[in-house]
Amino acid sequence: MKKVIITGASSGIGKALAYEYAQNGYALGLVARRLDRLEQLQEDLAQYGSPVAIRSLDVANDQEILPVFESISDELGGIDIVIANAGITAVHRTGKDDFEINRKVVQINLISAMATVDAAATLFRNTSQFKNRKPSGQIVGVSSVSAFRGIPGSAAYSGSKAGFSNYLGAVRMELKNKGISVTTVHPGFVATELADDMDKYPFVITAEKAAQAIFKGIHKQEANIIVPKLPWSALSRLVTILPDQIVSKVF
C-alpha cells in the first residue's frame, strides 16, 4: 500500500484528492489548520478501508512542517508522495492600503509552499539513509494557470504561483538524479470555497473533476499537469502573448 501526504486537505482540491487516493487504495496523511474538518474527513474516508492519519498544522509555521511529516511517516510506515496543496487566494487591488493581505498570500503560497517541498525532500532523503537505500519519492506542488499570466486584481496571488512554479522547476532538476521526482500542477479555475465568485471565470470545473485528472498525472509522474488539459494547455501559451486589454477584459 502506497502512502501519500496532502496539505490543505480539509477543503477544495485537497479534500477531493483525499477521496481520490482513498478510493484507489492509498494510505493517507492529511494535514490542514482545521482539525475538526480533518476528523470528519477521516470518518468519511473510513468506508474505503485505508489508514488515515490526520494532523493540524498551519503551514505558515514552516519549522513545524518536517516534524509533522516525520510523525505521519512513522505512523503510516513511510511516505511515497507529498502533495504541497495548501494555499490561499485574495482579490486585492494594488495601492488600496492593507499590504498585509499581499504579504499573507505570498507567505502561504510561496514561502510556506517552498518549505513544504523542502521538508518533503528532507523526509525522503532521511528515510532513505535510515533504510540504507537510495532516496525515492514524489513531490507534487499545486500552482495555478495564473503562473503563466498575472490576473488583474490578484497580482500577489499570480506572483506567488509564478514563483512557486519556477521554484518547482529548479527543484525538479536538482533532484532528478537523486531518485526524487517533482510534479507541478497548474489547475485552471476550480470551484471551491476559496472563491465565491468563481462562476464568472471561463472553463470552471469541480474540485472532484480536477482531482481525478491530477491523480492520473501524478500516477504517471508527469513533470507538468495542466487541469483541465483542454483548453488550458493551448491557452497557457496564448495568454503570454495576448494584449493587456484583452486579458483585463476577460478577468
> Which positions are catalytic?
157
Cis peptide bond prior to 135, omega within 30° of 0? no
Q: Are 101 and 23 in contact (CB under 8 A)?
A: no
Phi, psi of 28 (to 5 degrees): -120, 140
Q: Are 159 and 144 in contact (CB under 8 A)?
A: no
DSSP letters spanning 57-91: --TTSGGGHHHHHHHHHHHHT--SEEEE-------
Alpha-carbon span 62 to 59, nearest angstrom: 5
DSSP letters spanning 212-246: HHHHHHHHTT-SEEEESHHHHHHHHHHTTTS-HHH
Run of H or E residues at 164: helix 155-175
Q: Which residue has the cell 517552498?
A: 114
